[in-house]
Structure 1
Amino acid sequence: MEKFSRWRDQGTGIQPFLPPVPANADHSPIEKTLTVILMIVKPITGVVKLALVSVVVLAFVLFQMAGLALSPLGFLYRLYSRLIMAIFARFILGLLGFFWIKHEVVTIRRGRSSSTSKNQISAKKSTSSGNLIVCNWSSYIDVLYLAFRYNPVFTQIYLQTLTVREVTFWEALRLSGSYPELSPPEGVETWPLLDFVKAMHSKGAGPVVVFPEGTTTNNRAILKFVPIFKSCSVPETSIDITVMALKYDYYKFAPTFTVGLNNSYRFGHLFRTCAQFYNSLTVKSLASEESPSNPNFSAMDGLSSTPSGAAIGVVEPVEEDALGSVIMNLMGRLTRFRKLGLTVQDKVDFLDYFILRNNGIGSMKKISTQKATSTSALSSSRSSRSKRQ
């Protein structure tokens, strides 16, 4: 859409914030007939599967509440929570059409094989309690998949403070596609990323997931990371880092979710996802021996031959956030996505314009109030930190 062309990356021509639109193509009479049939059948499928999803979610909540009785037992409670999360999250993914999710542990170095049993073992070690999973972010489906596979600690990152806070599984679902919060609300404790990961490790709370783009995209490119890795070194040997990438293949409807400003957007997208007979998701994890937490890792391994807005094969300069730049390049090589110069701040500006065009001036006043509140919270958090210092 030309009215949103100002948020098209100049180097690549990619617009990462709008839902992907399938290319127009001439169809045969058989394909046109099939399309008409699907237009009739899909709404029925969507209603049935959405009702089943609602029942499963309700059952999941009830099992979670029942499990609170085990909370004093520590390890047993975590084991119960992990089992319940794995069962119900996978069931919901199946209802949404993700019957088979391919997970590969791959190497990006030339001359080495991928998806070996050794790599699979390394991957399990690198996602143990308190270790860091760095992942791109395109949909609430990402959250469901990560919850099913790892039952991790989800985080929310803040651009203005370069800190993170822990969020629940339900909050992580809500944040997918939502208006990004650039600074933490007043009274909410946040941590530098490295300190937070180490704290979770000491508590045995499970692996930590961070979405360094800070917001969802349409899964066609990678936004410039929020520089939350500024205090980290390359390699960062004090923690274990798993670089992961999720990629959706689709024909008509993309499961990516870039605009989820209210419940009507969320419900509409969930209904269309349920109406799909089949959805496809491929997950790739970088082999642990090539992780930037490996003591033998070199920054040049992450910066060479990287698909981006610049020419492929050009070694790009290391930025102030050296580790973030390296991980962004590694993630780009896993997915073959282009790296963009657009950031979470651009997503905020995009949504401001989107709201203005779709809902009028009244909604912009609400956004202005949210920004003022965020600014006030930022000032309060800074003053409190200075007092502690």
Structure 2
Amino acid sequence: MAEKFSRFRDAGTGIQVFLNPVPPASSASSFSYVLLPFSLVFGALRSLLIALFAGIWALANLGAPLGRGNAFFARAILALFGFYSIREEKISLRSRGRATSASSSIVFAPGKGDIIVANSTSWTDLLYLAARFAPVFVLPIVSASSRPPSGASSSATSTPGGATTPRRGTPKKNAMSANTRIETPGAEQATTEIRDVKGFRRAGLWEMIRRTGYTPLVEGSKDAGTPLRLDQIAESAEAPVVVFPELVTSNNRGLLRFSTVFPASWRLVYRRSGALQIGAGQSNLYLLSFKHDPPSNLLSTTTLSVPTHLGPASSGSADETGWNPLRHMWSLVCTLPVPRALTVRLLDPSESPTGRQYVADPASVNVDVLDPLADACAGLVANLSRLRRTNLGWEDKEAFLALMRSRR
């Protein structure tokens, strides 16, 4: 199947970021078939317990804006899916060897109206965020029509966080931009269209889970609603706001291009000063990354790039999502109770663009990108996760899913 979708392989890094990972062919074993009856029994028992916890959680949250019991119920459900413990690391990119920042007095504790920036890989990440921060989730709304890509050129990087300098955490001049296409001689690009992010709307946890793997809502569609700027949502938010600048999920093998998600006023401040220091009442940025282990013959992949329901595209309609991602959930519970690995790396808040110690070299702020703040965050998340940045974006994911639909 990989050959059929070779044009969606990133030209600069050679990474295929959209196909759901599968175990290596060499790992297939007849032992898996022997375990099949036990797997089905485990799946049924786990599914009943998950449905019970989810039902009680839903009843407890009737009329509660923030939700009661997020930490308990979300962690319990994650444990039933095999995530008995989640490795959480606070990372300082300034420290040699990427050591945990024990000296920083700033705790990773986003408050009301702060922005959590993360890469997007799976619905399991949403459960972790719900358990850890009880945040406000937002869905991106994009324009229906495309515009010509930027005339600026940039080169792809093939190292983790190649667009940033570890000491400063800022993008270099030749860094891959958030809204610039790479044109590599002899390599076919998946698509050349660029469509703007018009804004966001708030969404509940279940809606976010159900839309895992799909492309953003389209402006004017039935479920899009009125798009709001990120700062407008943050001003009225009763909790931290989670934004995924990639806008879509990947298979956790590379980092997609970050879209223009931050307000124009924030971008202007960052472009002029090399930091986001607005003053009292500003939203602080908290950056984190998710890293999943690859699948094996005993454990299926925990990432979900391709949704498990691929009906006809309907411009972001709820009808399209169907029962997604229940089939993927079933594949996770139908395994022996072997621990699954999920690593969450939290960037030391002092090294975030809103941190007091963060000052980018003005010469390193890419003047050719629409959102230099998103570009800086992309470099930081890439360094944090050790995932290489690619020049593929959500528009490529849309074309990829359209091709998959046409072949079914």
Coarse TM-score class (shorter-chain normalised): 0.7 to 0.9
Kindly indicate whether the alpha-carbon contact (under 8 Å) linking 2:139 and 2:216 is maintained by their aligned counterparts in 1.
no
1:275 equivalent in alignment to 2:325: no
The one-letter code of the counterpart of 1:236 is L
1:348 pairs, out of 398, 404, 407, with: 398
1:64 equivalent in alignment to 2:61: yes
Q: CA-to-partner distance for each residue in 1:197-221, whole Å, 9 max, x for gaps?
A: 2332xxxx11000011111111111
- Decide whether aligned partners of structure 1 residues 88 and 329 sit closer, same or farther in structure 2, where only a CA change above 3 A counts: same
Deviation at 1:137, TM superposition (A): 0.6
Kindly indicate whether the alpha-carbon contact (under 8 Å) linking 1:123 and 1:285 is maintained by their aligned counterparts in 2.
yes
Aligned mates of 2:286, 2:246 — CA distance in 1: 16
1:183 equivalent in alignment to 2:219: yes
The one-letter code of the counterpart of 2:212 is S
Aligned mates of 2:341, 2:27 — CA distance in 1: 24
Aligned mates of 1:216, 1:302 — CA distance in 2: 32
- Decide whether aligned partners of structure 1 residues 100 and 155 sit closer, same or farther in structure 2, where only a CA change above 3 A counts: same
Q: Name 1:371's counterpart in structure 2.
A: none
TM score, norm. by length of structure 2: 0.74
Deviation at 1:86, TM superposition (A): 1.3
Q: Percent identity?
A: 29
Aligned mates of 1:107, 1:319 — CA distance in 2: 26
Q: CA-to-partner distance for each residue in 1:315-338, whole Å, 9 max, x for gaps?
A: 977622100000000000011111
**Residue segments in structure 1 that go unaligned for 5+ positions in a row:** 72-76, 304-314, 359-389
1:228 pairs, out of 237, 251, 261, with: 261
- Decide whether aligned partners of structure 1 residues 319 and 266 sit closer, same or farther in structure 2, where only a CA change above 3 A counts: same
- Count of equivalent residues: 325
- Decide whether aligned partners of structure 1 residues 130 and 163 sit closer, same or farther in structure 2, where only a CA change above 3 A counts: same
Aligned mates of 1:84, 1:178 — CA distance in 2: 28
Q: Name 2:128's counterpart in structure 1.
A: 145
SS at match of 1:16: coil
- Decide whether aligned partners of structure 1 residues 40 and 288 sit closer, same or farther in structure 2, where only a CA change above 3 A counts: same
Structure with the bigger RCO (C-alpha within 8 Å, sep 6+) is 2
Kindly indicate whether the alpha-carbon contact (under 8 Å) linking 2:230 and 2:263 is maintained by their aligned counterparts in 1.
no
SS at match of 2:286: strand
Aligned mates of 2:342, 2:220 — CA distance in 1: 32
Kindly indicate whether the alpha-carbon contact (under 8 Å) linking 1:230 and 1:320 is maintained by their aligned counterparts in 2.
no
- Decide whether aligned partners of structure 1 residues 282 and 119 sit closer, same or farther in structure 2, where only a CA change above 3 A counts: farther
Kindly indicate whether the alpha-carbon contact (under 8 Å) linking 1:302 and 1:327 is maintained by their aligned counterparts in 2.
no
Deviation at 1:121, TM superposition (A): 4.6
Q: Name 1:196's counterpart in structure 2.
A: 233
Aligned ranges 1:264-343 → 2 under 5 Å: 266-276=325-335, 277=337, 278-300=339-361, 319-343=369-393
Kindly indicate whether the alpha-carbon contact (under 8 Å) linking 1:157 and 1:212 is maintained by their aligned counterparts in 2.
no
Aligned ranges 1:195-274 → 2 under 5 Å: 195-200=232-237, 205-229=238-262, 231=264, 232=266, 233-234=269-270, 235-237=275-277, 238-252=282-296, 253-260=300-307, 261=309, 262-263=321-322, 266-274=325-333
Kindly indicate whether the alpha-carbon contact (under 8 Å) linking 2:108 and 2:349 is maintained by their aligned counterparts in 1.
yes
Larger mean Cα displacement after TM superposition, 217-226 or 258-267:
258-267
- Decide whether aligned partners of structure 1 residues 336 and 40 sit closer, same or farther in structure 2, where only a CA change above 3 A counts: same
RMSD: 2.5
Kindly indicate whether the alpha-carbon contact (under 8 Å) linking 2:23 and 2:294 is maintained by their aligned counterparts in 1.
no
Q: CA-to-partner distance for each residue in 1:267-318, whole Å, 9 max, x for gaps?
A: 2211011123222110001101100112432335997xxxxxxxxxxx9776
Larger mean Cα displacement after TM superposition, 189-198 or 152-161:
189-198
The one-letter code of the counterpart of 1:104 is E
TM score, norm. by length of structure 1: 0.77
SS at match of 1:285: strand
